[in-house]
């Protein structure tokens, strides 16, 4: 089993989203002890946005995959194609996804490479695989005590579905800015959710 871990927090290993993603990976490796983990850490400014070469590739069939950010796009898509499981660890920024995760998506959601466009709309080119998304947020955005909107999970669902990734599972640690007691409770709830899910999970 090849696991691709996309880590989006600029806080690295001390972040709640990275911590939760690591817990997910631990559960996956319990099922497949010989699994291999490839980590793509994109927090901070480590991943550039798409450039003119990439934009050209979206508007024509010209092969520009060997230059500029189109080359990086090809590298990132290759990592995704080789993965049996994708794990994304991300904070919620201003009700949505951080710009570094949007940049990664812009690289991997590429016309004629991971999806096609025809008269009937867009069609996926990637094979489906399990995707686990670990989200941390300062406030609560789900459940009865939600106090803020959520534009992150609907967007990720739509854009990952577009390229063929439909087997999505979300885990969250919410209320991280509400004090140590709330954080401890959020961690406990996340651990319980992981235990329930992986009690019967197996890689097909």
Residue spans per domain, the chain: 2-198
pLDDT over 90, % of the chain: 74
Q: What are phi and psi of 76, to 5 degrees?
A: -70, -40
Mean pLDDT of 1-6: 97
Alpha-carbon span 100 to 45, nearest angstrom: 7
Residue 11, pLDDT > 90, answer: no
**Radius of gyration for the chain, computed over Cα atoms and rounded to the nearest angstrom:** 17
Please check whether the domain covering 2-198 is classified as CATH 3.30.56.10: no
What DSSP line would sit under 159-193, residue for residue?
Answer: HHHHHT---EEEEEEE-TTS-HHHHHHHHHHHHHH
Q: What is the mean pLDDT of the chain?
A: 91
Tens of pLDDT along 169-201? Answer: 999 999 988 899 999 999 999 999 999 999 999
Residue 203: pLDDT above 90? no
Distance CA 108, CA 93 (A): 21
Q: What is the pTM of this model?
A: 0.92
Q: What's the token pair of residue 157?
A: 């669902």
More reliable by pLDDT, 66 or 57:
57
CA separation for the pair 173, 29 (Å, rounded): 21
In the structure encoding, which two tokens stand for residue 199, read together?
């009690």
4 within 8 A of 40, measured Cβ to Cβ: yes
pLDDT category at 132 given cuts 50, 70, 90 is very high
143 band by pLDDT with thresholds 50, 70 and 90: confident
């Amino acid at each position: 089993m090849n696991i691709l871990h996309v880590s989006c927090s600029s806080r690295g290993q001390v972040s709640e989203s990275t911590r939760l993603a690591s817990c997910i990976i631990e559960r996956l490796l319990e099922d497949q002890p010989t699994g291999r983990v490839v980590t793509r850490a994109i927090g901070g400014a480590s991943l550039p946005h798409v450039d003119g070469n990439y934009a050209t590739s979206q508007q024509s069939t010209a092969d520009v995959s060997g230059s500029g950010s189109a080359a990086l796009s090809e590298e990132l898509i290759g990592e995704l194609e080789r993965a049996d499981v994708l794990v994304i660890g991300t904070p919620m920024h201003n009700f949505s996804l951080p710009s570094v995760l949007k940049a990664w998506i812009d690289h991997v959601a590429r016309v004629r490479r991971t999806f096609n466009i025809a008269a009937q709309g867009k069609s996926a080119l990637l094979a489906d695989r399990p995707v686990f998304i670990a989200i941390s947020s300062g406030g609560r955005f789900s459940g009865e005590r939600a106090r803020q909107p959520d534009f992150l999970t609907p967007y990720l669902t739509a854009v990952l579905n577009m390229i063929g990734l439909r087997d999505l599972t979300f885990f969250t640690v919410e209320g991280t800015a509400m004090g140590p007691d709330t954080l401890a409770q959020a961690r406990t709830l996340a651990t319980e959710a992981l235990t329930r899910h992986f009690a019967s999970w197996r890689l097909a």
